[in-house]
Amino acid sequence: MSMSQKGRERWRSWLLGFAAGIVLLGAGCGGPPSILILTPANGSFNLGASVTVTGIVIGIDPAAIADVRVNGVSVLPLSDGMFSTSVALDAVAIVNPIVAEVIGNGGSILRDRVTVIAGDSIPDGDFSEDGIALRIAEPGLDELEPLVTSLVDLDLATLVPPGTLIVDDFCYLDSFLGCIGRVDATVHNSPPPSVSSFTLDIDPATNFVEGDVTLFDMLFTIRVVAVTGIGFTCFIDLDSATTLIPGDYALDPDAVDPSNVDVTQLGNVSVSFGGFSDSTDCDGFLGFIVEAFIGLVIGDLQNDFVKPAIEGFLNTIDAEGNTPIASGIEVTLDGIEISGPIGEALGVSLETPLFDVLEDVDGITLGSDARITATMPDPLAVDLTASYHVDQVLPTFGTLAPNGLPYELGMCISASAFNQLLKAEIESGLLITRISEFDFGGGPVPITAGLLAALLPAFGVLDPLAVLQIDIYPTMAPFVTGELGPGGELATLRLAHLNVEIVPTSDPSVTLLDLAVDAEVGLIGSFAAGELTFSIAPPAAMDIGFTLLENPLLANEVTVDLLLPQLLALALPVLGDSLGSFPLPDLLGLSLSLVDIDRNGEFISLFLDLSPTP
């Protein structure tokens, strides 16, 4: 009875779950004749120059064994079937297959294999430091300005309600006999205080951002009523064509929730009026004379009432410790943080605490650590303990994307954070694939024994009409190495120990051919219709390796070696499709359109434009 890769993993886990004495049971364990590598674990990471390999031969009479080999080197098993040896690791190759073989006197071979990654790793649940950068270029800040403005409730009629007493018992006419004319002045409600509109201009600077508010057509109507002396009523219209309120704001990671940006107003804002004008209309006896005197208090109204009212509002600190403009900027930046909506779109838990916010004259960079884990692990998928780590430097940003075009929003991810994403996706079922048909260019055709016999003659012993399927199961997460792809693609993706099993559709428990496949492929990225899509470039024959684990049909290994690239070429489009498309959500009502997808420094990067969602 043969044993598939999944069966070997279950058997291996069962043995390792018991005390060392279990190995003495040998053939009495009830399992099929086999050779199993007990340590190291498949998919483990190792920074050493070598690794100790231990294993066991089970269910085989020692007299029937011609040799036991590990990576082609003979090892002598002990009387209990155990064996141990040291295997050198190749740090340049990164992927280090370890193959154990037991060769029978008659030439039959049983194999087991584990794969060790020679390199550093990030344990499951730890952070990829400096893993993600989000860049808002100056044109992107321009797109955000209306959003900030919409969050600031600058309603002049609310700030200065009609009926507010602003001048109390003011003496407008004095004489040697004393004051003979006094007035009260209140904010009138017809029309109520208003501005036609206001804008916020956010400009990045070194270590802060400028946030200048401009009010347009600010209007106050003041009602002046005589309380002594000559009876009259005056209406004074105060109009400022533009009112400029410049402010500076510092951006830092929030001390309570570092996933968000803390925006602090630097000092108080100050109001300056442009095109300030007034007009006075009085009625009653000698009203034209009274108008001249009322004009004397207009400067006081402008500087002692209107200006302080606006400044008081914009400098008031709320319960969160923010002034109104700082709060609006903060809420807007929170709306474009990536951990929540983008993590949900990717189907993973994405945590991105900020370690720094960098402002320069061309934009703002939010630098984050990253922790990416599976939210809904697939019970059929492998459970992984770590992901491959690559030391990389957080990139800097210019005003243009790598293709020379301007952009508004940039997203960059390190190889380590991307590998965490791949690990989480594998645990969620990514790459578990069943291929039941091939497309040779004339449309899909079912996989049958007769079809495969044309490629591998050993399948000729089967009914040519027997329907077969290829089951692909990742035993470890693919990973990017940090290098460009073999053909200059976005990244080099390593598929290590991908279990490829050919089985009858009628009975998938029967293994006809079982391979552990390694491949080095180019990772291609694209973005369209709001979705980020990854695909795989076809590998060259030299970039594919495999170990034949189960071969009950006695297929010629040389033939398998020659035909495997063709087989994978047919399978890779389906495998590439299984990498999936990841919809990126609209951010605060702004849709995303692609400018470029490329490398920025060492990071995989996406450069986008923002536009209002229709």
292 shares a domain with 161? yes
Q: Which of 287, 310, 330 is the last residue of a domain?
A: 330
Bigger pLDDT: 296 vs 279: 279
Please indicate, yes or no, whether residues 359 and 300 belong to a single structural domain of this protein: no
> What pLDDT is attached to residue 304?
67
pLDDT for res 200: 85
Same domain as 341, residue 325: no
- Both 311 and 403 in one domain: the answer is no
- CATH number, position 185: 3.15.10
Answer with the residue of higher pLDDT: 578 or 316: 316
Q: Which residue has the higher pLDDT, 237 or 382?
A: 382
pLDDT attached to residue 18:
46
Instruction: With respect to residue 219, please indicate whether it lies within any of the assigned structural domains.
Output: yes
Residues 522 and 598 in one domain: yes
Reported as a single tens digit per residue, the pLDDT across 405-436 is 999 999 899 999 999 989 998 998 888 888 88
H/E stretch holding 374 reads strand 363-374
Residue 410 lies in a domain: yes
Q: Which of 54-63, 203-212, 266-275, 474-483 has the lowest mean pLDDT?
A: 266-275
Which spans in 153-255 are helix H? 156-159
Are both 144 and 110 inside the same structural domain? no
Please state whether beta strands 128-137 and 178-187 pair in parallel, antiparallel, or not at all (unpaired): unpaired
Band of the pLDDT at 287, cuts 50, 70, 90?
A: low
pLDDT at 374 > cutoff 80? yes
- pLDDT value at 191 more than 90: no
Angle 324-335/307-315 helices, nearest 10 degrees?
40
Which DSSP string corresponds to 42-76? TT-EE-SSEEEEEEEEES--GGGEEEEEETTEE--
Residue 289 has pLDDT above 50, yes or no: yes
Compute how many other C-beta atoms are within 10 angstroms of the C-beta atom of residue 566.
11
pLDDT, residue 24, reads: 40
Which phi and psi (to 5°) does residue 506 adopt? -70, -25
Does some domain include residue 191? yes
Cα–Cα dist 584/587, whole Å: 9
CB 555 within 8 A of CB 513: yes
- Mean pLDDT across the chain: 83
- Asked if 153 contacts 159 with a C-beta cutoff of 8 angstroms, the reply is no
Select from 305, 330, 355 the last residue of a domain.
330
Domain boundary among 119, 146, 167: 119
What pLDDT does 21 receive? 43
Residues linked to residue 102 through DSSP beta bridges, in sequence order: 68, 110
- Mean pLDDT lowest for which of 75-79, 263-267, 580-584? 580-584
Strand partners, 114: 98
Q: How far apart are CA 119 and CA 602, in angstroms?
A: 18
What backbone phi and psi angles, to 5 degrees, belong to 235?
-120, 120
On whether both 182 and 299 belong to a single domain, the answer is yes
* Residue whose tokens read 């070696």: 561
What pLDDT is attached to residue 232?
76
DSSP line for 86-152 = EEE--TTT-EEEEEEEEEETTS-EEEEEEEEEES-EEETT--EEEEEEEEEEHHHHHHHHHHHHHH-
- Is residue 126 one of the residues assigned to a domain? no
Residue 127 lies in a domain: no
Report cis status (omega within 30 of 0) of the bond before 612.
no
Whether residues 358 and 302 fall in one domain? no
Residues spanned by the domain of 277:
138-330
Q: Taking the mean position of all CA atoms in its chain, how far away is CA 75?
A: 47
Assign residue 372 the CATH number of its domain. Answer: 3.15.20.10
Question: Is residue 301 located within the same domain as residue 356?
Answer: no
Across 391-403, average pLDDT: 93
C-alpha 514/C-alpha 404 separation (Å) is 48
The answer to whether residue 336 scores a pLDDT higher than 80 is no
Residue 588's closest CA among 561, 612, 556?
A: 612
State the pLDDT at residue 533.
Answer: 82
Closest by alpha carbon to 398, among 355, 356, 361?
361
* Residue found by looking up tokens 């004749």 in the block: 33
Determine the pLDDT at residue 491: 93
Q: Residue 437 in contact with residue 468, Cβ under 8 Å?
A: no
Maximum mean pLDDT: which of 26-30, 166-170, 323-327, 360-364: 360-364
Asked if 415 and 469 sit in the same domain, the reply is yes
**pLDDT tens per residue across span 564-588:** 777 776 666 666 665 666 666 666 6
Which amino acid would we find at residue 58?
I
With a CB cutoff of 8 Å and minimum separation 6, the contacts of 353 are 127, 253, 258, 259, 368, 369
Task: Please give the model's pTM, rounded to 2 decimal places.
Answer: 0.84
**What 8-state DSSP symbol labels residue 461?**
G
Q: What percent of the chain has pLDDT over 70?
A: 85
**Same domain as 342, residue 251:** no
Whether residue 588 lies inside any domain: the answer is yes
Q: Can you tell me the distance from the alpha carbon of 410 to that of 607, in angstroms, rounded to the nearest whole number?
A: 4
Q: 55, 114, 125, 10: which is closest to 496 by C-alpha?
A: 114
Q: How confident is the model at residue 6 (pLDDT cuts 50, 70, 90)?
A: low
Supply the pLDDT for residue 490: 92
- What separation in angstroms does the CA of 582 have from each of 337, 401, 413, 525, 585? 17, 22, 15, 11, 9
**Residue 90: pLDDT band with limits 50, 70, 90:** very high
In a domain, 379, yes or no: yes
Judging by DSSP bridges, how do beta strands 109-118 and 45-46 pair with one another?
A: parallel
Tokens coding 247: 């402010």
Tally of structural domains, the chain:
3
| 203 vs 226: which has the higher pLDDT | 203
Taking residue 106's Cβ as centre, other Cβ atoms within 10 Å add up to 7
Share of the chain above pLDDT 90, in %: 36
DSSP summary character for residue 441? S
> Looking at the predicted structure, is the pLDDT value of residue 75 above 50?
yes
Residue 334, Cβ density class (10 Å: 0-12 exposed, 13-18 middle, ≥19 buried): middle
Q: What share of the chain is helix, strand, coil (3-state, %, to 5)?
A: 20, 45, 35
Residues 401 and 546 in one domain: yes
Res 88 pLDDT > 60 = yes
Q: Is residue 128 part of a domain?
A: no
Burial of 377 (0-12, 13-18, 19+ CB in 10 A): middle
- Consecutive H or E run containing 299: helix 298-301
Assign residue 103 the CATH number of its domain.
2.60.40.10
pLDDT at 277 over 70: yes
pLDDT of residue 224: 82
Contact present, 494 and 520 (Cβ < 8 Å): yes
pLDDT score of 245: 85
Alpha carbon distance 453, 435 (integer Å):
17
